[in-house]
Structure 1
Amino acid sequence: MEFRVLGPVQVEGHGGVRALRGARQRRLLAALLLDVNAVVPTEQLIDQLWDDPPDTARQQVHNAVAALRRWLGDGGAESTIVTDDIGYRIVVRPEQFDLACFLDAVSAARAAEEAGRTADAVASLGAALGHWRGPAFAGVGGARFANAAARLAEQRLAAREKLLSLRLDLGEHEQVIGELTELVASEPLRESPRRSLMLALYRSGRQSDALQVYREGRQALAAELGLDPGPELVDLHSRVLRGDPELLGDPVLAPHRDEPAVPVVAERPSFLPHGTRDFTGRDAELDLLLAELTVRPDSGPVILAIDGMGGVGKTTLAVHLGHRLEAEFPDGHYFVDLHGYTAGRVPLTPAAALDLLLRSSGYPAERIQDDLTARAAQWRSHLAGRRVLLVLDNAVDEDQVRHLLPGTSGAVVLVTSRHRMSGLEAAVPVSLDVLPHDHAVELFTRVAGLRRTEDELADVAEVVRLCGRLPLAIRVAASRLRHRLSWTAGHLARLLRDESGRARLLAAGDRSVAAVLEVSYRHLDDAPRRLLALLGVHPGTDFDPAAVSAVGDVELLTAEDLLDGLVQAHLVTQHSPGRYRLHDLVRDFARSALRERGDDERLEARHRLFDHYLHLAGVCCGPIARGFSRIEPDLVHPPRHVPVIESEPAAMELLKAELQNLVATARAAIEEDWTAYTWQLPCVLEPFFSRVNYRESSLDIFRGALEAARRHHSVRGEAAALTNIALILRDRGWYDEVRRLLLDAIGLTRRIDDEPAVAYLLANLGIAHIRAGDLPQASETFSQAREIAMRLEDRQGYAAFTNNIGAVSSRMGHTETALHYFSEALGICRDLEFHQGEAITLINIGEAHLLAGRAETAVERLASGLGISKRISYHPGSCFALSWLGAAHRELGDLGRAHELGTRALELSRGANIGEVECDALAALGETALAAGQPAEAGRLFEEARTRSAELHLPLLAGRACEGLAHVALAAGDEERARRHWETALGHYPAGIAAAGNARDHLAALGGDPVSCQRCRTVAAAPGIRRVGRE
């Protein structure tokens, strides 16, 4: 008895084909044969027999198997169905099963071919294909059978292709043309049968037909997939075109002709490849190229050199431009692939390229000179006086191109290369970058089809981003979506987010992003190839030569030279002077290449890079670090290059340029559990984070630092991490938690007898007390810090803490006392050139003068503080200064300037995420609006200030916002609403705060005499508000 699945499922015995008893029995037999001689679990059989299994499915399977076993026994089958603990197994000998016979015959053919027995291989493949009667498992539905059928159909097709190819090797080229023509018609996108058909036609003396088969294939690939033929097919086309006699094989089998094969040449040679139907974008580049063509030199051709990374669309652009220019070049259009970056191919030599070009132009083959110089002269002479377009595609370098250039001024040459042709004389360079976002989305939509994308534009945008806006990657991804009807763009995006599988998804046959990059990679010398792989360890967005010096363990000048070479090869992009980056897909490739070099080299490079950034942070932050942030980095690999920091602003600018890399390195250290870096890097960077107000965004980093410091048993690291977490939470208004964390940090710091750090921690605790409204406790805490600084002769700390005491005095209404403290602090800051302290003190002095009614003096001091803050990139200082300057100009009556400064303060504080200044600026703008007679706008601003202050737990600013709302109500004549707002304001103000006096005075005088109110002085223009001066 024989079992057949290569067609309709059948069983044949001595009496012929036996009729199976219904669809379920056929399906059951097919399911057992699909895993022949292996146990098929009962659950799997249930799934294959029913879409919605009944409750009795297990019993029904048992009954059906028993019935099938009896049916097979009635037919005299030697095969049996064996019951197992988990399911059933059908036992069939290989010679009884058509699928086993097919696979055995294919294996026998493979062995015969490897042994050089081509005729035996042909016989085995013929026998293998003879087992097929139609599509496998025909008539049996279900996903598992469909998948198996598709897999077997591919094996059948491969066997058929191999059979026809072997028959070609036996010289049966004329006999196989019919079968190959049928196969190519049914599988127009498969390149193997098309290649065989071209060979068969060429060997049969039908050279023009062979070239036509290539053109049809190229058009089909372009129309369906937006792709060009693969390198093997392109190579065969070139060889057929030039009449390569080696393609004829055995001379006995050569075509019967008196003359040697020569290319078929049209009256006007036109060898441009088919244009891409879905060409998208590149308007700016096309305009530039066309503009260059308007200026023709008096002698020599116009040479346009298009360079860019692999897959960016250089050839597509050159061909598109070539077709646009066809009418301008009546004497011919030539195209030659120089194979500079073709996988598995040696770049075409200039001599070989000239031979191809001369033959293509109709030049007699027997007259072509062997000498390169003579051959180049023949080419130039042949084109003299002719208007021709020459596309030299895929050039490896300038030397490959020079001998191919025409000498006539009527010619235009388009050169494409991944190498910048900076050494090609008179060439106009045009570098291609990845597509702009909109054009990238448009390309994806054109290839995938509008119906597949129109409802998923956000997902399409994400796919395009994950493809790095690289045209090749976009085309391959879009083709996958187009040909997988069950997929959505969202599903494709999810697959592409997985870096480990991205390279596989961005591959279609021999066209893949990874393959393109692999060719560029292999073209590099050892040193740049090693460096590109090592750059895969970089976790950030871009890098400078100093970072590359560390990664590669090379001198700085060497790093710069290697980077220049990688830029020339379009594997690294220089996006600004001294700054470089990797394309996302190049980074993926670099990481893959690095894995091949081994873990030891990867880890050493990672260590060097992390040490570089840790050292950089220490050099830049060391001069401005105080207290707990004074941490000496512990380096394993001191970097070769030590940056020279000329000034504090220069240090801040350097760190701003490296911010994303520093943060990425800190997060990578957390992910990889590199303990020393995890806590050291963010804690060393704390002064910088404070300057640029990056604390809020770094909470996860400092939490990771805390865990690492505890694992590392670093008391200093733990205290520093606790402090930084406290500072972040302080800005969120979590004052109880902040005070607990700071007290823990103070306890740890006292354990290691670090009194300078204790002083600065006390100062931060004092600021938390101010924010919480406990001014007496804040003053006491600052005084403790000041005493420590005095004992340690820490003049900088002493100045900072004295300034803080002055700030508390000012808020309590003791203006002259506050100014005394400020004056002492300012003098010390200037002596020490402590610029941040100088800026803070000047701003505090300006605020104190403003509260005392001395607006002109306030403007002078605040402007000085603003100037210093800008110069040293101290964002919080700039924000506070702008807000108080606005208030000062309002009091001076310049409402326009007040509004301008308040708006700048609001925008800057929101951009820098400084909530305290945001609330202050909102209230200040509200007071300006009220003074300008705009009560509705003032009410909106005060209400926003109140809401935001409540969110941030800032009671003093919440009280100020409520005072503003009270003044708006009073201006409208609504004394009852004003009363409620002033009472609410008093509830926000803690004991001892001077600002509470304004609200108390108003509440006491409602309906009576005018009151003395500092706030009223700022809004005197508002109708209905009565005011008297406080002087």
Structure 2
Amino acid sequence: MGGAEVVVGPPRQRAVLAILALRANETVSRAVLIDGVWGDAAPASVEGSVHTYVHGLRRVLSVVGGEVLVRSGGGYRLVVDPDAVDVVVAESGVRRARELAAAGDRSAAADVLRECLGLWRGVPLFGLPGPLAEAERVRLTELRVEVVEERAEWLLGLGRHREVVGELSEAVGAEPFRERLRGLLMVALYRCGRRADALAEFESARRLFVAELGLDPGAELAELQVRMLRSDPGLDVVVEPAAGSAGAVGVPAQLPHEVPGFVGRAGELEQLAQWRLSVGQGGRALVISAVDGVGGVGKTSLAVRFAREVAGEYPDGQLYVNLRGFDPHRGPLSVGEALGQLLWSLGAGGRRRGVDAQVVLYRTLLSGKRMLILLDNAVSAEQVRELLPGPSRSLVLVTSRNRLTGLVVRDGARRLTLGVLPEEEAVELLRVAAGRARVDAEPGAAVALVRLCGCLPLAVRIAAERVSSDRGVGLGELVGALAAERDRLDTLDAGDDEMSSVRGVFSWSYRSLDVGVARLFRLLGVVPGVDVGVVAVAALVDRPVEETGGLLAVLVEQNLLEQRDGRYGLHDLVRVYAAELAEREDPEEDRVAALRGLMIWYLHSVRRSFSCFMPDHPLFPAGVPDARHELPAFETRESVYAWYNTEVANILALTQCAAELGEHDIAWQLAWCMYNYYYSTGLLSEWIELLDIGLVSAEKTGRPEPQSRILTTLGVAHSRIGQNEIAVHHLERGLSLARGMGNQDLQIALLANLASTLREMKRYDEGVRRAQEAVELAMAHGTDFRKASCLDSLCELYVESGQPEEALKCGETGLQAARTSDTRLTEVNILVNMAHARRDLGDAATAMRDYQAVLELCSTLGDRYHEALALLGIAELDRRASRVDSAREHAQCALNILVQLNGEEAGVAQAFLAMLDEVA
């Protein structure tokens, strides 16, 4: 008492007290105490030992006053103020800090974590025996390191780097293999003006890892060292904006908006929370909750509500993917497509060869991170399985209309089947959405209404809008009208359970629309995309944009249309209903004409985007009427990429739709014009899928030019994925067509791409001949863009075939053409090859300057691929100068990047490192 230390007793007695304190105010059974203290080594007399230790604790704790340790049922309960237990206080503080950080107050959050760290004194539960004490020792030690890391990250983001150097140095000393800690310390030292000390930390880590583990530091740490060597401005002090501000970038935050007026589901939310906490406490690294139920029951709404409640516990970000399992117009996302979206969100959308490589990269990027991943509308366990992280601290939420039994059995998912709302909660939802006074005035009619809606949340929300809009009519009269309408529609299609429960409600709202709004609603049902902007909708219905916006607003108010960030989309059940109406009420020629107007708008938009990237590449005539509505204004290339990221799914869907409708000139051009997006993102399987659709349409036009253009791009795509034989077949077929029609520009493009593919196949003599023919044609008839690309191909061939003098000659000319045409990717590739040529000629100093110029240009462009090639070139210069350690560091950095991008040159980097090890 009075602050004096109490002698608790022997180690096992202290271990019993620790278990009771960790579960303060909860009944702990004797079996739990025995398992926690003795484990499998419990003696026959263990029950008596438990009684002895409890008796001893009661005597020790009697000085506190009152009955602290009480018998309860078949166990014991330690009655104590939770604030008296350091573990409870610390964990509560960590949760509060994360909530503050999620709300944008990282300064206050860091202060709270400082207080939490003060509660750790030495090794937790030091000297206590038993499995539970050991497990808690590991957990609490890991928690302390996580707290140090999080606090340091927040303070670094606030420019308070000097405050964390000492704390991080101490933590690195205790956890020397923790790369995240080491990286944070390097950044803190660097920002304090101690770059040499920061680089020395990396070298210390490298020596330790090699000596103890036989491994080099990971990609992130190696990349950080390279950035420090280059004095990367991105490492300078930049105070992070508040959470939710326009400037906050870097951590993905993709959770959809919550449905307004969320009601009920308290039991389901509590169940999810218990699963998350109980699994985490049991040592499981991954939590999965599979939420299944019928369409419109609120699966996504529940998942989003829960995800937003716990988002603060996942500081590495939140990912969201709509797996499109039940889209009426498009098939489910393939595993490769879903992985492509996730990798792109994680900043790793580079080239890749197959799903296996994507899975490895995805799980590597998530390793050790704490992220929340929401996989919405899954169709099967197989679609989801490869999207699950490996060992990590992430939470995965999966929603589906199907019961994902395989996910539960094989992957340990916790299944939550969502039923319709209880009647009282459905009435409460009606009150929230339609107004309490109106609903409470006719309680019997309110119950009848939610019963007619099947207590399905989607249907109740739509019905509520009708209640709100018809204020002059009694609720009972509306119920009678809906009952009659539902009976009529259910008779037409009684076999579709999901639709029969809501079709009447949809019809009720639909019949209240005026003619123009009703037509818009029906036509939206036949649009094969995801969601669309107002100008695209105006093109669909051929109305002015302002008028169209008003029509859309009516549908949003009626809850028949969802609005998200200025774009509009239908719930999939509503889409089915709208498409049914369009099929029944709109002549086929009217539906096709509307879709054609939308396709023409998208075609002219993608043509404009193409021209923004390649202004020196004059486009051929579109062969379709001009767009009747304003096209996107692309002021920068970044704005084009932003538009691509929003519209790419729609463009793929519309390309398929155009092909099916016989609009082949639209289909092949949509596919061809997306070159820049797919080439830069490396989404190769998706690109080939799009181009295959385009090729079929190009062939159906019967004209050689469309076929030749698509074959050119297909050749590039297949070459990048490593399918060079297929690429050569496409390119030679396209070249034959181009020669047959005398199109010199197409011949130049095909010859240059054919030369590059032959180079990858090591068929150098043939490749040089093709490249020389391309250069000759380009110099006589081509644009600067064509001259640059052809000379680039020839320069690279000369380097690889051992002709560096010839490489420099054509490289200088090609570099001038690339800069004139503002073709930056071609410019950087030529610079790399000229550096290689100078290196091979023995001009190391000039070669090094060229490589450094490439690194600077890549930093501006965000071009990781050519950065890796330049680093490999510098590594070779280092090797030739006997700078073996520097060579190894540069080659390892290059390898890390190439592995992330799935670049085929990764094998070259690995072989180079192996050669260095043999020499050493």
Range class of TM-score, shorter chain: 0.3 to 0.5
Q: Max radius of gyration: which structure?
A: 1
Q: TM-score, normalised by structure 2?
A: 0.46
If asked which structure has higher relative contact order (CA below 8 Å, sep 6+), I would say 2
